[in-house]
Amino acid sequence: MTPFARTALGLALAFLYAPILVLIVYSFNDSKLVTVWGGFSTRWYAILFADGPLIAAALVSLKVALLSAGIAGVLGTLAALALDRHGRFRGRGAYTGLLYAPMVMPEVITGLSLLLLFVGIGLDRGIGTIVIAHATFATGFVAVVVGARLKGLDRSLEEAAADLGASPARVFFGITLPLIAPSVAAGFLLAFTLSLDDLVIASFVSGPGATTLPMRLYSQVRLGVNPEINAASTLMIATVGLVVLAASWLTARRGA
Amino acid sequence: MSGRLARLLVRGLPLAWLVLFFLVPFAVTLKISFSSPATAQPPYLPVIDWQGGLEGWREFLEALDFQNYRMIAEDALYRDAALSSLGYAALATAILALTGTPTAYAMARASKRWQPILVALVIVPFWTSFLIRVYAWIAILKPEGLLNGALMKLGLIASPLPILDSPTGVLIGLTYAYLPFMVLPLYAVMSRLDPALLEAAADLGAGRARAFFTVTLPLALPGVAAGALLCFIPMVGEFIIPDLLGGSDTLMLGRVLWSEFFSNRDWPLASAVAVLLLILIVGPVVLFREAELRREEAAEGRGR
């Protein structure tokens, strides 16, 4: 690499990681002021673990993330299969557009319009409506991850199984699904973290009693910088770090 | 027969879900954008009277009007918010293209062993909470924050710069949050470029800079376009960044929509703002899709 390329890369990575490092370092700061270093302390973590509403919100978020990632995992995998295996079917372009549009749609639009639908059909707002909303925008992400794996898949195993008389269903569950399983798991994890992360859509479609972790954190962030949020953030970053490691291990193992 | 049924289910289930929870909601939003706010449950009028038959529909349609759109057209707040949303998104996209291109170029030129690690390093921040990463900038940018502290210690400035709660704060936040979306598509294109092309350019006497501008950059333009679209659309409707880093004076449509909905409880007006926002972003998407199709056709014509 040229010195110029190396500098560019170094600056970009510093830019990406500096705020995260600052966040983590100051979560161990004894002082309440985020800009003054008052010595090492874990007291914000103690306060965090005694914060009942925050922990309740974290549990709501986990529940929503698990359920919505499960739905998005199934729907996204099916959509990826349809795009990879069904050839140039009629309306393929529109199908792809519909699948990928929720990924870039501004969250305020998705959130507001889903809320208006839920109110229109008289669905009670709560955890269920957040799950539906999250599954809707995460499906496209799962389809991208699984689709990439399907594209690189060697078809000869499936053809051999079919030649030996296996039914399409048996080929799918015996050969295809095990082969794409790591990418389905990676897609599930992506959908899971996207759900954990969402503030805007959940704020629109949630109802009384369904406060997610980002909603709770946002209501505190609005009041200003607070070391307890830094501690919560550090734990979330650590969790996501572990999930990313798991996901890259899953995909690297099968070369997805 | 069961094979056809299976195909129908595989294709149809995701389709049904997305039609019901993505397309139909837009239709509902469009309808409510022509309604009037009301102190009722739901807080808008008219509501379709399903028992009223044809007469009920006629009454319903007659009660719809353009007043929300008139309001948006006449009140300078909405026009300014629309223009500044587009302005912020366009400016941030330009900054992203300028910073993302050298980054992706450097990644693509790194050794094969380092490339997957560098890609992972760019992706990891994207996996960590958006809200938290934006929040982290408050401590850095505020008047008594780390950046101002460092600049003052270095003697570069005498008094703190008001970066937080300013347009600069919003631009820093947008650039930061969307950098991976620009770098990754660019890297995908640049890492596939044939190194023989650069060698040929070098053999013909082009310096590194000349080779970059005459060979790499033109070939990487599809990546720039993809990255720009991927960043521009969500940025136009961004809410969290202007809300946390922009202060009360920063007008962006996402924020206007949020406050119409949550503070003013004017659902019809919020719906009209959503329709306006959607119209603003459809244009760039259509242009991009057309360019994409033309390129694909050209590639197919050449390849086969």
Give this complex's ipTM: 0.88
The CA distance from B175 to B238, in Å, is 12
DSSP string for residues in B120-160: HHHHHHHHS-HHHHHHHHHHHHSTTSHHHHHHHHTTS-SS-
Range list of H helices, A32-51: 43-49
Backbone CA torsion sign across B67, A112, B278, B56: negative
Question: B281 and A15 in contact by Cβ < 8 A?
Answer: no
Residue with tokens 């459809």: B282
CATH of domain A51-223: 1.10.3720.10
Domains of chain B: 66-303 (1.10.3720.10)
**In this structure, which amino acid lies at residue B155?**
G
The CA distance from B106 to A6, in Å, is 7
Q: What local confidence, expressed as pLDDT, does residue A58 receive? A: 92
CA of A225, closest CA in chain B: separation in Å? 7
Q: What is the pLDDT of residues A183-193, one digit of tens each?
A: 999 899 889 98
Q: What local confidence, expressed as pLDDT, does residue B49 receive? A: 66
CA angle A42, A246, A180 (to 5 degrees): 160
**A2, A16, A150, best to mutate vs chain B, most B CBs in 10 Å:** A16
The CA distance from A183 to A77, in Å, is 9
Which residues contact residue B265 at a Cβ distance below 8 angstroms, ignoring those fewer than 6 apart?
A: B37, B43
Which residues contact residue A145 at a Cβ distance below 8 angstroms, ignoring those fewer than 6 apart?
A: A76, A183, A186, A187, A190
**B24, B118, B127, B296, best to mutate vs chain A, most A CBs in 10 Å:** B127
Phi then psi for residue A198, to 5 deg, are -75, 125
Report cis status (omega within 30 of 0) of the bond before B42. Answer: yes
Phi then psi for residue A40, to 5 deg, are -75, 140
Q: What is the pLDDT of residues A206-242, one digit of tens each?
A: 988 899 999 999 998 888 778 888 899 898 888 877 8
The CA distance from A76 to A192, in Å, is 13
- Please say whether the beta carbons of A121 and A199 come within 8 A: no
Instruction: Give the percent of chain A with pLDDT over 70.
Output: 95
CA of B300, closest CA in chain A: separation in Å? 15
Q: What local confidence, expressed as pLDDT, does residue B71 receive? A: 87
The SS3 assignment for A169 reads: helix
Q: What local confidence, expressed as pLDDT, does residue A65 receive? A: 95
Contacts of B261 in chain A (CB under 8 A): 112, 204
pLDDT in tens, chain B (304 residues): 467 788 888 889 999 999 999 999 999 999 899 888 877 777 887 777 667 777 777 777 777 788 889 888 888 899 999 999 999 999 999 999 999 999 999 999 888 888 888 888 888 887 778 898 999 999 889 888 888 888 888 888 888 888 888 999 999 999 999 999 999 999 989 888 888 888 888 888 888 888 888 888 888 888 888 888 889 999 999 999 999 999 888 889 999 999 999 998 899 999 999 999 999 988 877 877 777 777 777 766 654 4
Picking from A35, A89, A120, the nearest residue to B144 by CB comes out as A35
Which residues contact residue A187 at a Cβ distance below 8 angstroms, ignoring those fewer than 6 apart?
A: A72, A73, A76, A77, A141, A142, A143, A144, A145, A146
Average pLDDT of the residues in A74-98: 89
Q: What local confidence, expressed as pLDDT, does residue A252 receive? A: 66
Question: A241 and B124 in contact by Cβ < 8 A?
Answer: yes
